[in-house]
């Protein structure tokens, strides 16, 4: 009700400004009241719906003359109703095209966790969607994994490439595209992106749950803007398809439901510094995912970044109010936020790698 009142109030305000002459252009059309805003009615228990187990639900609907109760079979369920601590809230009736379904929210109260002394570090990249490493507090890497849905990414990019071909045929030279051009294709690509993000985030949370990690660690990439590649390169297009924010948000939502937390660390020099402390790595020009350490050792650049992300996550958890270790105030030394995996070996373990 409050949302609908806000929509009407906004329309009245905008229409009043239009009538008073406060317009961007003199010939601008008056604002319209849009009813399709994605807000759906909530059904209250006993008055609008009656739940009979998890097989069928009884809904009160209007048949054109009277409000009558009708029985609807439940065809699909998830797992939230099986958790005893979850509380079911009032469902919403979602209407889309010719179909409708019930969206049932749950208030989740996860049990208090007793995690192990490790973190799950995630490096989100272009060559590999997500590189995962489980790092303990003493700097031991107990698990690593590469998550890359190449088939789905190719499926999305193929559709986007078809848009440019159709646009060149439609516009010609100096032409313009009409409003909503290839909107169905863009919607399909958006759904593919959501599917990729859900699959990747689910696998990340599964790894963290398997090793009972204390937290999932990501790079803080908020506000980061890509630089364009060489002329006629597809690097800029690949950056547009980088799902860094979506994967992180989906992971945080899934992990919070299990009682875990997600932390962000400084992204600077995670892949540029060698995890063994030997210095700055050199990227292979032909194979950018391959890094060469100053010692001559060749290593996967994304995995090297995941190791350093895990180390920074451990230091952020264990030394939040502690001044020992790296000091950003000492001249001639890198700041504390540029920690590498080797810093955990010297401070938390008697074994040096």
**CATH code at position 197:** 3.30.420.140
- Considering the domain architecture, whether residues 224 and 90 belong to the same structural domain is answered as no
- pLDDT (tens digit, 9 = 90+) per residue, 284-306? 888 888 999 998 899 999 999 99
Q: Classify residue 112: in a domain, yes or no.
A: no
Residue that the structure tokens 């270790």 belong to: 325
The two tokens of residue 107 are 């208030």
Give the pLDDT score at 169. 76
- Considering the domain architecture, whether residues 148 and 268 belong to the same structural domain is answered as yes
The span from the CA of 206 to the CA of 143, in Å, is 13
- Considering the domain architecture, whether residues 134 and 95 belong to the same structural domain is answered as no
Give the pLDDT score at 117. 92
The two tokens of residue 266 are 């400084």
- Considering the domain architecture, whether residues 220 and 251 belong to the same structural domain is answered as yes
Q: Classify residue 84: in a domain, yes or no.
A: yes
- Considering the domain architecture, whether residues 205 and 103 belong to the same structural domain is answered as no
- Considering the domain architecture, whether residues 264 and 122 belong to the same structural domain is answered as yes
- Quote the distance between the C-alpha of residue 235 and its chain's center: 21
Is the pLDDT at 328 greater than 70, yes or no? no
- The three-point CA angle 160-166-169 to 5° equals 150
- Considering the domain architecture, whether residues 157 and 71 belong to the same structural domain is answered as no
Please, are residues 289 and 281 in contact by the beta-carbon 8 Å criterion? Answer: no
Domain boundary among 107, 126, 149: 107
- pLDDT (tens digit, 9 = 90+) per residue, 217-263? 999 988 777 666 566 666 677 777 788 899 999 999 999 999 999 99
- Considering the domain architecture, whether residues 149 and 258 belong to the same structural domain is answered as yes
CA atoms within 13 A on the CB side of 262: 19
Q: Classify residue 338: in a domain, yes or no.
A: yes
Q: What is the DSSP string of 199-265?
A: HHHHHHHHHHHHTT-SEEEEE--TT--PPP-STT-SHHHHHHT--HHHHHHHHHHHHHHTT--EEEE
- pLDDT (tens digit, 9 = 90+) per residue, 184-217? 888 999 999 999 999 999 999 999 999 999 999 9
Domain boundary among 62, 82, 107: 107
Nearest to 238 by CA among 296, 154, 311: 154
- Considering the domain architecture, whether residues 224 and 335 belong to the same structural domain is answered as yes
- Considering the domain architecture, whether residues 84 and 157 belong to the same structural domain is answered as no
The two tokens of residue 156 are 């999305």
Nearest to 125 by CA among 277, 291, 254: 291
- pLDDT (tens digit, 9 = 90+) per residue, 107-159? 888 888 999 999 999 999 888 999 999 999 999 999 999 999 999 999 998 88
- Considering the domain architecture, whether residues 131 and 201 belong to the same structural domain is answered as yes
Please, are residues 320 and 261 in contact by the beta-carbon 8 Å criterion? Answer: no
Is the pLDDT at 334 greater than 70, yes or no? no
Q: Classify residue 196: in a domain, yes or no.
A: yes
Please, are residues 103 and 42 in contact by the beta-carbon 8 Å criterion? Answer: no
CA dihedral over 278, 280, 286, 288, signed as positive or negative: positive
DSSP label at 130?
A: E
The two tokens of residue 87 are 């509380």
The span from the CA of 319 to the CA of 325, in Å, is 9
Give the pLDDT score at 351. 34
The span from the CA of 106 to the CA of 81, in Å, is 8
- Considering the domain architecture, whether residues 84 and 130 belong to the same structural domain is answered as no
Q: Classify residue 202: in a domain, yes or no.
A: yes
Q: Could you tell me which residue, 207 or 175, shows the higher pLDDT? A: 207
Could you tell me the residue range of the domain that residue 75 belongs to? 49-107
Q: Classify residue 10: in a domain, yes or no.
A: no
The span from the CA of 187 to the CA of 197, in Å, is 15
Q: Which pLDDT band, with edges at 50, 70 and 90, does 352 fall under?
A: very low
Q: Classify residue 288: in a domain, yes or no.
A: yes
Domain boundary among 87, 107, 127: 107
Using alpha carbons only, how large is the chain's radius of gyration in Å? Answer: 26
Is the pLDDT at 333 greater than 80, yes or no? no
Number of domains into which the chain is organized: 2
Q: Classify residue 212: in a domain, yes or no.
A: yes
Nearest to 216 by CA among 225, 206, 224: 206
């Amino acid at each position: 009700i409050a949302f609908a009142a806000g929509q009407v109030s906004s329309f009245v305000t905008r229409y009043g400004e239009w009538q008073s002459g406060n317009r961007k252009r003199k010939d601008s059309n008056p604002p319209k009241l849009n009813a399709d805003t994605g807000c759906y009615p909530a059904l209250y228990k006993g008055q609008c719906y009656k739940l009979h187990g998890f097989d069928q639900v009884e809904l009160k609907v209007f048949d054109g003359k009277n409000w009558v109760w009708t029985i609807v079979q439940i065809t699909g369920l998830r797992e939230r109703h099986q958790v005893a601590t979850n509380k079911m809230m009032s469902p919403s009736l979602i209407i889309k095209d010719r179909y409708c379904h019930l969206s049932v929210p749950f208030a989740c109260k996860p049990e208090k966790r007793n995690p192990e002394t490790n973190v799950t570090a995630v490096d989100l990249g272009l060559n590999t969607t997500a590189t995962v490493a489980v790092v303990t507090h003493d700097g031991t890497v107990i698990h690593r994994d590469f998550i890359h849905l190449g088939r789905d990414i190719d499926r999305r990019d193929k559709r986007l490439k078809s848009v440019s071909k159709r646009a060149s045929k439609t516009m010609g030279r100096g032409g313009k595209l009409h409003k909503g051009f290839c909107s169905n294709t863009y919607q399909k690509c958006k759904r593919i992106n959501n599917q990729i993000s859900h699959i990747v985030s689910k696998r990340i949370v599964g790894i963290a749950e398997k090793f009972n990690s204390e937290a999932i660690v990501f790079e803080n990439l908020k506000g980061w803007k890509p630089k364009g590649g060489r002329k006629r390169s597809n690097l800029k297009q690949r950056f547009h398809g980088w799902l860094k924010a979506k994967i992180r948000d989906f992971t945080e939502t899934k992990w919070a439901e299990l009682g875990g937390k997600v932390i962000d660390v400084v992204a600077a020099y995670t892949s540029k510094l060698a995890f063994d402390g030997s210095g700055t790595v050199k990227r292979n020009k032909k194979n950018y995912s391959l890094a060469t350490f100053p010692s001559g050792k060749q290593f996967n650049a994304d995995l090297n970044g995941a190791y350093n992300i895990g180390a920074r996550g451990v230091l952020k958890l264990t030394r939040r109010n502690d001044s020992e270790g790296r000091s950003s105030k000492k001249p001639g030394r890198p700041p504390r936020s540029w920690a590498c995996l080797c810093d955990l070996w010297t401070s938390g373990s008697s074994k040096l790698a």
